[in-house]
Structure 1
Amino acid sequence: MANLRNAISRFIEECKNMKELKKIHSQIITSPFLLQSDKFLLLSRLLFLCAISDLGSLGYATVVFRFMKNPNLFVYNVMIRAYASKINGGGNEICSSQSLLLYKQMLSEGIAPNCLTFPFLVKECTTRLHGRTGRSIHAQVIRYGFYNDVFVQNSLIVLYSAYGTLRSARKLFDEMTATRDLVSWNSMIIGHLRSGELDEALGLFRKMSTKNIVTWNSIITGFVQGGRPREALAFFRELQLVSSDMVRPDKITIASVLSACASLGAIDHGKWVHSYLKMSGQESDMVIGTALIDMYGKCGCVEKAYEVFKEMQKKDTLAWTAMISVFALHGFSKEALNLYEEMKKEGVRPNHVTFVGLLSACAHSGLVAEGRCCFVAMKQVHLIEPEVYHYACMVDILSRAALFEEAEELIRSMPMKPDAFVWGALLGGCQMHANVELGERVAQYLVDLEPLNHAFYVNLCDIYAKSGRFEDVKRIRTLMKERGIKKEVPGCSMIEIDGVVHEFSVRGSPDVQMDKIIGVLKDLNDDMKMGRVSIILM
């Protein structure tokens, strides 16, 4: 009997598909030569493979579980783990809360949990957004004495971070000083980054004695998404200095760094990253290819972006959309529309963002008829319901063409409330064509909507100025002064030198030697006054 049990156990381990697994299952339950204890042991192993393995089926595992007599803690843990993290063959999540229901059933049968039970229960609460239940599970952790288990604590940190209760997550983290591992540090850093607390995340990052690529990717990506791309590039340079076989930039790193280059317009750095990608032997997949297209496009290298696009062997919706958006950004409207037609021929479905690019392309080139066609096709052909930003693009197209009645009719037909961008697009058209009557009405609505936004006052002043109504210009400026509204200073200018991006602003920049720059400008000014410098107009 032991030999038969061992043979069947080996068959389970070597099983390659569900058909074989079902045959083995049939042999186990029908064999007269196996003891009940052997059958239970074999069914437990079969259940594990069926529930956890990629070749298995959670639905079939559920059937096996239901017919098992007196399941033990191992069996419950397997099913709790499977329900908390598994996706069935159809791609849809199995009924939520099943792992929590199994946990209640397990307790009702007098089976106490262990340290392997709770991480998956907490994962269930994190994934399915069961915040209150998550706190109840935390109480269960304390009740059963697993509050010092590092795996349980790490899962709780992720849970509280996911719900934005960072104070609770940080309290857990600070109290586990003796048992912290890399996962603990990374989870806490990611929690701070997701909540926009970049400096707190950086503080923890600097305290870490050991970092893995997840740590570096988290801090680089977090700072890019948090609007601090220059620092993200600095982290990448730092990573290169400490790079080893254990910590080496991967595709996530590259994609994030390319995003930082795109934000800064750091084309030299972006080209270097592209070269690094080739030299390191990393295969450029669709994610990297799309990031390269976006980077080259935002840095003004349209031809290079298109070159990367053509070299991509596989292109998904995001890749096509990225290239269409690059063409739109730089005024190549016909190219954007032609690429859209090619995209459809290739059988790739456009998405919401694709149509933002197409409508923007039409707006920048005054292609009203093409814009109307795209807007209609979006709804009727591709069954994509327009969002508020699509309406803003369409209003922009019509307003630029002075089709104000049609633009207002479109706004009235919107199924959602128009926002400042929709009205702003209409106001921009009024400013362009000096439509004072409509411009006054729209501007007043926008001022009521956002009374401290200087842009609406400035646009109205410009409309009045173009119409020669300078008394009204004076009135609006006086109103701005009374309300303490000032026109914002332009953000900044940036220049890339030797791979380092330097930022210049009217207000000054901490890493720029403004005193020396002002001194040089003063010397040039003095030399020009004395006639020692001649200016050649090109």
Structure 2
Amino acid sequence: MRSKKLVNLTRAISTIACKNNPTTIPLTSLQLDTYIQPSDRDTIYSYNKAIDYQVKYGSLSYAHQLFDEMIVRDVVTWNAMISGYNKCGFFEEAVWLYRQMVVEGVCESSSTFSTVLSVCCNAGWCRRGLEVFSRAVVLGFGLNVFVVSAVISVYMGMNFFDVGFRLFSGLSERKLAVWNLVLRGCCDSGRSRELFGVFRSMGEEGVRGNALTFCYMIRGCGNDELVEEGKQVHCHVVKNGWCEVNIFVKNALVDFYSACGCLLDAEKSFVVISPKDLISWNSMVSAYGNGGLIFEALEIFSKMQYWGKKPSVRSFVGLLTLCREEKNIVLGNQIHCFVKKTGFDVGSAYVQSALIDMYGKCGEIETSVSIFQGDHEISLESCNSMMTSLLQYDMFDDVVELFAMMLAKGIRFDEVSISTTLKALSLSNCASLMGFLMLHCCVIKSGFVINSAVSCSLIDAYSRSGHVKCSHQIFEELPSVNVVSFTSIINAYARNGMGMQGLGMLKEMTEKDVKPDKVTFLCVLNGCNHSGLVEEGKMVFDLMKTVYNIPPDLKHYSCMVDLFGRAGLLEDAEELLKQAPRKDDSVLWSSLLRSCRIHRNEDVGRRVTTILMDLEPEDPEIWLQASNFYAEIGEFETSSHIREVAVARKMRLDIGNSLIETRGHL
């Protein structure tokens, strides 16, 4: 008997399929009768053939109608329907069909397992995928190359790259498709440098790469901005002739040079593409957009239309992203008008999301909200853009409320949604341990607990509310650690004045061969600063310069100046400031002067005051700070003279405003 759940979906599926494939015309009942002859209408083969045709052209509701008519179904029938639901994005329904297939006693094939595992990978269901793979092993498909390839894709999609690679290493037969799968996993999991090791192993086994192989290689180099390595791949591509015959490789090269900031090379790669397809033009628009070249981006956008290439989603998203980065609301309004004219303001969730994001980042949050509320089909992308825009304006409660609305309406969420909500909740006045625990349960239930970004957001959220033990527990339960997760837990300790624990984590990083970066060292120094660990702070500051060859920036110097200032080591702080990359930063010198006032250090204070007044001769706040310093050390004449000079120069401080909101009681 047909499921009510699937019955209610058939009309929606048919509508979506026709929208996504406007040229597709589903078969009518009369055409179905023609397609399946009356003489063999009861045969499974004929039905399977018709179902496959309907699924192929996106008519899922008609395929299910045929499926319901069948008295006897074989494994091919079930596979076709499961594959159809997977292609249309109805993952729950695809898994439900698989369960019904098992209940009815139909034995799976290798195609069944690979399709269902693909569903689990696309939906992000790691646990379900492992359950399906366990059943495949029990039924003797554990060594089947198609099934193992599918489960490798599941593991890599869930960031368990090492587990997936071990499965791959155990395969007796490794064809090109499986190698490409591993290369894609390297790209998606941020292991671009491992691409070359995999590629060498591939050559040693006598497997020759195809266009897709080199597309992954080029994309991986672009992800980590490996310019020299990418140029070597480019040479290899040219040598093997792929640049002449495959336009996808050509477009990938444009994207690579664009991602690495090599606009001249991107232009050269674009010019040699002939004939150029829509992706080629879009790549160049995005390249100029990412480089902040407004006029060049608009020029290539205009040429694209001149040559008969209609703008696509990527073109508009690239231009709107450029407007967002440049805070160019005028151009953003013009692009918005063009979007409306071409109809992309209704049909594309990505364009809607880019519009919301652009207006939000350009300071027009009301317009962002208006676009979001006018969206008839609220999508994950538009929700994420709206949440990040609201977060930028400190509208924390609205972010949490929007996430609750997503849950109530059954809108799928991702790591961006959860991370944004966690940050908003941690900064909200309504933050509570119960709220964090509820979100944490939601993370576990949805399977995002293994996601590095979400785990780091949980660590940060718990630490902001003072629950460092919870942060530490999450860190300990991470399946794999990297520099981001280590930095998050170190920052959690630093925020709560636990500098020694942060130093212990830095030591653990070195023991696990995880290289700290600038942000890591800044968090460690903050922890030393809040805990008063002067000698340890000196050691860490020297360590980043001598051992890791990381040049300190102004934030690191600011942290060290504050650390010395708190400890009263003002001469050391002054000497350190003279070594800073920017010796004319008034903020750092002003911080040192405040420390001089606290510790009553007249000698250093006089020198710092002179430097500050030379750096900011027109800043009234600096002159007021200098006047107050001399007044505090008893030199009232000098203090009065500084104030008189400030008045003569017509310096004035902006008058502060305060707002007190009272709530009346009846």
Output the TM-score relative to the length of structure 1: 0.71
Corresponding residue number in structure 2 for 1:379: 545
Q: Which moved more, 1:390-399 or 1:443-452?
A: 443-452
1:427 aligns with 2:576: no
Q: Check conservation: 1:99, 1:121, Cα contact below 8 A.
A: yes
Q: Check conservation: 2:211, 2:242, Cα contact below 8 A.
A: no
Corresponding residue number in structure 2 for 1:290: 456
Cα deviation per residue 1:19-57 (whole Å; 9 max; x = unaligned)?
A: 6999898xxxxxxxxxxxxxxxxxxxx965355457997
Task: Give the C-alpha shift of residue 101 in structure 1.
Answer: 3.0
Decide which of 392, 395, 404 is 2:570's aligned counterpart.
404
Corresponding residue number in structure 2 for 1:249: 413
Task: Give the C-alpha shift of residue 462 in structure 1.
Answer: 7.5
Q: What letter corresponds to residue 259 of structure 1 in structure 2?
A: K
CA distance in 1, matches of 2:617, 2:475: 41
Corresponding residue number in structure 2 for 1:515: 664
Superposed, 1:47-446 pairs within 5 Å as 48-52=211-215, 59-65=235-241, 75=246, 77-86=247-256, 96-98=263-265, 100-106=267-273, 111=275, 113-147=276-310, 152-177=315-340, 178-180=342-344, 181-242=348-409, 244=410, 247-264=411-428, 266-268=431-433, 269-443=435-609, 445-446=611-612
Q: What letter corresponds to residue 220 of structure 1 in structure 2?
A: M
Return 5+ residue gaps in structure 1 as ranges: 1-11, 26-45, 490-505, 520-538
Higher helix share: 2
Q: Aligned-pair RMSD on alpha carbons?
A: 4.0
Task: Give the C-alpha shift of residue 399 in structure 1.
Answer: 2.2
CA distance in 1, matches of 2:638, 2:359: 49
Task: Give the C-alpha shift of residue 405 in structure 1.
Answer: 2.1
Q: Check conservation: 1:47, 1:64, Cα contact below 8 A.
A: no
Distance 1:315 1:51, change over 3 A: closer
CA distance in 2, matches of 1:304, 1:186: 34
Q: What letter corresponds to residue 567 of structure 2 in structure 1?
A: A
CA distance in 2, matches of 1:281, 1:225: 27
The structure showing larger relative contact order (alpha-carbon pairs under 8 Å, at least 6 residues apart) is: 1
Distance 1:424 1:230, change over 3 A: farther
Q: Check conservation: 2:253, 2:266, Cα contact below 8 A.
A: yes
SS state at 1:233 partner: helix
Corresponding residue number in structure 2 for 1:528: none
Task: Give the C-alpha shift of residue 332 in structure 1.
Answer: 1.9
Cα deviation per residue 1:495-523 (whole Å; 9 max; x = unaligned)?
A: xxxxxxxxxxx6135xxx6223xx8xxxx
Superposed, 1:5-84 pairs within 5 Å as 16=179, 48-52=211-215, 59-65=235-241, 75=246, 77-84=247-254
Q: What letter corresponds to residue 212 of structure 1 in structure 2?
A: S
Corresponding residue number in structure 2 for 1:496: none
Q: Check conservation: 2:257, 2:263, Cα contact below 8 A.
A: no
Q: What letter corresponds to residue 231 of structure 1 in structure 2?
A: D
Distance 1:335 1:133, change over 3 A: same
Q: What letter corresponds to residue 659 of structure 2 in structure 1?
A: R
CA distance in 2, matches of 1:234, 1:217: 13
CA distance in 1, matches of 2:207, 2:486: 47
Cα deviation per residue 1:393-432 (whole Å; 9 max; x = unaligned)?
A: 2222222222222222222222322423321331232122
Distance 1:196 1:22, change over 3 A: farther
Return 5+ residue gaps in structure 2 as ranges: 1-174, 181-198, 220-232
Cα deviation per residue 1:432-454 (whole Å; 9 max; x = unaligned)?
A: 21224533553565466285575
Task: Give the C-alpha shift of residue 160 in structure 1.
Answer: 4.7
Cα deviation per residue 1:246-270 (whole Å; 9 max; x = unaligned)?
A: x222211111111222333623433
Cα deviation per residue 1:104-123 (whole Å; 9 max; x = unaligned)?
A: 3456xxx5x45444223323
Distance 1:411 1:94, change over 3 A: closer
Q: Number of aligned residue pairs: give it.
A: 451
